[in-house]
Structure 1
Amino acid sequence: MQKISTCLWFDGQASEAAEFYTSTFDHSSMGQTTPGPDGTTLTVEFKIEGREFLGLNGGPAFTFNEAVSLVVNCDSQEEVDRYWGALLVGGEESQCGWLKDKFGLSWQIVPTAMSGL
């Protein structure tokens, strides 16, 4: 277990998001879910590329913004295209490799060669 992991707040979409992310990235898996008092999912644990996340169905009080984003370092243009295309479905693109997915979470899709430039 990681000492520090990330909790992502959703408005009823935590399971859908976890399934989407784990199907998009290699080395990813679903974990335990915790039911809420009404029987729907309250939390879902999942891993993306070995990193632990917790999806929380916390309601509409908070939403994602660009102040926090997940960075995907890509070794090839094929990998950039793959993740960009998958994460952009239902979302919106921005500039300089940034996009918001259909859940509103911001991602940076970055070629590893960029750091050398």
Structure 2
Amino acid sequence: MPKVVSNLWFAEEAREAVEFYVSIIPNSRIGRTTILPAETPSGPPGSVELIEFTLGDQAFLAMKAGPLDSFNHSFSIAILLESQVEIDRVWDAFLANGGTPEACGWLRDRWGLSWQIVPRVLSEMIADSDRERAKRVTEVMLGMVKIDVAALEKAFNG
């Protein structure tokens, strides 16, 4: 069975980013680190570092390889959480580490990577067969910065 791994290219501070991510997301760990021993388009031998890591059950590879393209909203990592307490903890950790809040539960970390910090139940609410309930939840969510689970539940329940 194939394994799918998302690759994240960092100009610098890949190790710092990975250590931060695994410190705030439960069931996460850093795996193997490899320093490329050959010259690459990014630099001399030893200038490119590859860090394998897992966030929850998702595999990633962080690569420190000098500047190329910046992260943008075309790629984001969603963290689906069970409670407001968990949302607050993760959200606050990102902000305390230089993150910037955006709309609808999104934020950008200090390295420019986009994250969605959302309750697992949100996708169920917006996919509900009662489209009026789904609409109310969506409209409330669109007015939020950090997600407020109680406000979503209130909108959902009418």
Residue in structure 1 matched with residue 12 of structure 2 by the alignment: 12
Secondary structure of the 2:104 match is coil
RMSD between superposed Cα atoms in Å: 1.7
Instruction: Check 1:2–1:65 CA distance in 2 against 1; reply closer, same or farther (3 A cut).
Output: same
Identity %: 44
More helix by share: 2
Residue in structure 1 matched with residue 31 of structure 2 by the alignment: 31
In structure 2, how many angstroms separate the alpha carbons of the residues matched to 1:84 and 1:63?
22
Number of residue pairs the alignment of both structures matches: 117
Report the TM-score when normalising by structure 2.
0.68
Segment of structure 1 superposing worse, 33-42 or 13-22: 33-42
> What whole-Å deviation, never above 9, does each CA across 1:54-81 have from its counterpart, x for those lacking one?
0011211111001110111111100110
Query: Quick one: which amino acid aligns to residue 114 of structure 1?
Result: L
Tell whether the 8 Å contact from 2:79 to 2:115 is kept in structure 1 after alignment: yes
Is structure 2 residue 98 aligned with structure 1 residue 90? yes
Q: Tell me the CA shift for residue 105 of structure 1.
A: 0.6
Runs of 4+ in 1 over 4 A off after TM superposition: none
In structure 2, how many angstroms separate the alpha carbons of the residues matched to 1:80 and 1:14?
24
Report the TM-score when normalising by structure 1.
0.90
1:102 to 89, 92, 110: 110
**Which runs of no fewer than 5 residues in structure 1 stay unpaired?**
none
- Asked which structure has the greater RCO (Cα within 8 Å, sep 6+), the reply is 1
Secondary structure of the 1:9 match is strand
**Which runs of no fewer than 5 residues in structure 2 stay unpaired?**
38-44, 126-155
Residue in structure 2 matched with residue 112 of structure 1 by the alignment: 120
